[in-house]
């Protein structure tokens, strides 16, 4: 009886161990889930969205693995990201915190806001005002915003929103160093991104974690927790389930 019990315990431990190994491999090499905790990427990503990020799109660095072990210095199977990609990266400030932003500047590019317009290499990014009204969060407030469809040099289109009052009009010129990238949040006036050199700044190629591919679940945290099932009719955003991110 004791032998059978011991055998059962050992087999269960083996099963759990193998399951953990498989989970770590999938998470490190293929897809990793992430939760969106802030409004910096609204209206593209909302607080409460849960997304899958592909780890193989840009190749692998030490940050592809749990706890960022110093296994190697350069990226393996490196592939270049593209303008407009939704990228998860480790913030340069601590090489630990995960951020997701939109890639706006490549190595060697210059970026600047001038009279409220976004300039890339001295050329204004084309933008078309969207007639739709957007309800955007910024901390505990919901400022009035204007939405624009912006088009990057590779044809990538997305919606960015700017405050109707108090939006950032002018900045210094940002010159992206070699092997670094420049990121912005789509919620332009409520995003800590590469404009803030002391906290985020330019992001090293090594710090790229992966590309956001899919929203697999979404829950409005203001309307209720995922555990308050009696509020699911108000909190679950069914229309966002399994939404592809382009």
Q: Is the pLDDT of residue 239 over 90?
A: yes
pTM for the structure as a whole:
0.89
Report CA Rg, the chain.
21
pLDDT tier for residue 66 given thresholds of 50, 70 and 90: confident
CA dist 95 → 55, 91, 119, 206 (Å): 17, 5, 29, 10
> pLDDT per residue over 150-208, tens digit each?
999 999 999 999 999 989 899 999 999 999 999 999 999 999 999 999 889 999 999 99
Please report, for the domain that includes residue 31, its CATH number: 2.10.109.10
Own/partner pairs for 92-100, CB < 8 Å, 24+ apart?
Answer: 92/200, 92/201, 92/202, 92/203, 92/204, 92/207, 93/199, 93/200, 95/63, 95/68, 95/207, 96/68, 98/34, 98/209, 99/183, 99/193, 99/200, 100/34, 100/36, 100/41, 100/45, 100/51, 100/212
Judge whether 54 counts as a catalytic residue.
no
Q: Please give the pLDDT value at position 15.
A: 73
Question: How many domains does the structure of the chain reveal?
Answer: 1
Judge whether 4 counts as a catalytic residue.
no
Q: Is the pLDDT of residue 113 over 90?
A: yes
- The length of the chain is 246
Q: Is the pLDDT of residue 19 over 70?
A: no
pLDDT tier for residue 2 given thresholds of 50, 70 and 90: low
* Catalytic pick among 101, 194, 218, 235: 101
* Catalytic pick among 39, 40, 61, 218: 40
User: Range of 81's domain?
Assistant: 2-244
- How far apart CA 92 and CA 196 sit, in angstroms, is 11
Q: Is the pLDDT of residue 1 over 80?
A: no
């Amino acid at each position: 009886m004791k032998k059978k019990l011991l055998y059962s315990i050992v087999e269960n431990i083996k099963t759990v161990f193998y399951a953990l190994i498989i989970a770590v491999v999938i998470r490190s090499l293929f897809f990793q889930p992430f939760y969106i905790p802030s409004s910096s990427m609204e209206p593209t990503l909302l607080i409460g969205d849960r997304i899958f990020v592909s780890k193989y799109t840009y190749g692998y660095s030490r940050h592809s693995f749990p706890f960022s072990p110093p296994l190697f210095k350069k990226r393996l199977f490196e592939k270049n990201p593209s303008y407009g990609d939704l990228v998860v990266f480790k913030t340069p400030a601590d090489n630990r915190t995960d951020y997701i932003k939109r890639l706006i500047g490549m190595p060697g590019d210059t970026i600047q806001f001038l009279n409220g317009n976004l300039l890339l290499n001295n050329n204004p990014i084309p933008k078309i005002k969207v007639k739709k009204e957007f309800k955007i969060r910024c901390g505990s407030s919901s400022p009035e915003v204007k939405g624009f469809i912006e088009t990057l040099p590779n044809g990538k289109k997305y919606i960015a929103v700017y405050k109707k009052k108090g939006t950032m009009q002018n900045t210094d010129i940002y010159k992206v160093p070699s092997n670094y990238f420049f990121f912005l949040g789509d919620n332009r006036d409520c995003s800590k991104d590469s404009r803030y050199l002391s906290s985020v700044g330019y992001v090293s190629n090594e710090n790229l974690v992966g590309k956001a591919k899919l929203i697999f679940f979404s829950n409005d945290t203001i309307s209720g927790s995922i555990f308050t099932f009696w509020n699911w009719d108000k909190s679950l955003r069914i229309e966002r389930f399994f939404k592809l991110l382009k």
